[in-house]
Structure 1
Amino acid sequence: MAIQEIALDIDLSIGVFKDTIYQAQKLKLRELSQDADGNSIYPANGSWESTPIRIQDKIASFKGVAASVDIAGGAAYKIYWSTSEDGFEWGAYEEISANSAVSKSPAKYAKVKIEIVAEKEYSNFYIDDFKEKGKYNNSFVESDSGSLGLKKTYQLNMERASDTPAGMVLRQKIENTKFKKLDGIRVSKG
């Protein structure tokens, strides 16, 4: 029995994409966003699965499957394949490796699956540099000092209760639920 090598060109533009895209004649992980330095951020992994490929002639068995792949960037990949007699029920995916010699039963259809795993790198993210004083000031937060922090000092608008010969009496009503949160009261001359 003669062994014959069959080359199949696989169209990567059609199939099932999971966190991958086909762009500029290449299968890539889709870009999620960019970090503060302008570097692309990708999902941890993604995959692409081909549509069923009809193999016209019945083949007695597969000795193995080889792949020709050009790699760009630091991602790792694995290629899997599966066969089917009727195009509906598929066998388990098996990894294609350099020394693959897995025998397969006769089949009319084959599918290819490519998994891509992104290279992990550190990224810089900047929320804000807080150079604009007061940008985030509100009732509970302050950013006047060049950093973001919770307010610790609150100034209340006191009500004028009465006038006395030495000055005036001011009053502020504090609810019982908030009274536990006070740790001191300071009165300054107006």
Structure 2
Amino acid sequence: MATQEIGIPLDLNQGVFNNTVFKDGKLQLVELGKDDSNTPIYVPEGYWISEPIRIADKVALFKYVAKTISGTGNYNIYTQSSPDSYAWTEWEQVDASTGTITTPVGYFARVKILISPTNSNVTLTIDGFDVVDKYDNAYVNSSDGVLEIKQSYRDRMTKLGNDGLLTRSIPKSFFKKIDKLLFVE
């Protein structure tokens, strides 16, 4: 007895795309950007749902899903069926190892592919503070290639008498804590 494989092609250009795109002949997650080493960063999860597929006289032969996978993401394939393309069964996951469909047989079918990327650590530099004095102001310093809050402030004080006593009023709202006062001439 000869075995015959019946193929029902899926058009990945058509259907419902949620955080997925059909690009370069592949269904893939939407790219959010690139990290510092130019590695793509993807959305956490996405799916694609096919248009209703008319199985018609091939109903008894619609038992398996064949797949070609490339890349490092995780995926799950689901199917559902319908006798009239209006009332659909619940989504049933396709057996990942054999491709066997567990959805009840119907005149129409739909395929859903759920994709998630593999988790990996990425490095994103928001600002390298490479531009000297980019953020310099009365309270912030960026002159040494790092961003830091200024801790030392210079201010004019009034000299009282000949005994070296200096005075200056400092509003309470300026400081939460004063560690020390230095006299600099």
Q: Tell me if both proteins adopt one fold, taking TM over 0.5 as the criterion.
A: yes
Change (3 A) 1:9 1:180: closer
Residue 54 of structure 1: CA displacement?
2.3
Give TM-score scaled by structure 1 length: 0.78
Number of positions where the alignment pairs a residue of Structure 1 with one of Structure 2: 181
Change (3 A) 1:11 1:58: closer
1:10 equivalent in structure 2: 10
Indicate if the aligned counterparts of 1:62 and 1:103 stay in contact, CA closer than 8 A.
no
Indicate if the aligned counterparts of 1:141 and 1:148 stay in contact, CA closer than 8 A.
yes
Residue 170 of structure 1: CA displacement?
7.4
2:183 pairs with 1:184 = no
Q: Matched residues in 2 for 1:66 and 1:58: separation?
A: 14
Q: Matched residues in 1 for 2:65 and 2:99: separation?
A: 9
Question: Percent identity at matched positions?
Answer: 33
Residue 179 of structure 1: CA displacement?
5.5
CA displacement, residues 50-83 of structure 1 (integer Å, 9 cap, x when unaligned) = 1212233484x5672222x222221222211100
Q: Matched residues in 2 for 1:152 and 1:39: separation?
A: 39
Q: Matched residues in 1 for 2:138 and 2:116: separation?
A: 46
Q: Matched residues in 2 for 1:77 and 1:7: separation?
A: 21
Among 83, 86, 90, which residue is 1:85 paired with?
Answer: 83
1:34 equivalent in structure 2: 34
Change (3 A) 1:122 1:103: closer
2:72 equivalent in structure 1: 74
Letter in 2 for 1:82: Q
Q: Matched residues in 2 for 1:16 and 1:103: separation?
A: 20
Letter in 1 for 2:124: F
Indicate if the aligned counterparts of 1:62 and 1:102 stay in contact, CA closer than 8 A.
no
Q: Matched residues in 2 for 1:58 and 1:73: separation?
A: 32
Q: Give the unaligned 5+ runs of structure 1.
A: none
Q: Give the unaligned 5+ runs of structure 2.
A: none
Change (3 A) 1:86 1:134: same
Residue 133 of structure 1: CA displacement?
2.9
For 1:32, what is the secondary structure of its paired residue?
Answer: strand
Letter in 2 for 1:116: I
Give runs of aligned pairs for residues 159-170 of structure 1, distance below 5 A: none
Indicate if the aligned counterparts of 1:48 and 1:115 stay in contact, CA closer than 8 A.
yes
Alpha-carbon RMSD across the aligned residues, in angstroms, is 3.0
Q: Matched residues in 2 for 1:131 and 1:70: separation?
A: 46
For 2:155, what is the secondary structure of its paired residue?
Answer: coil
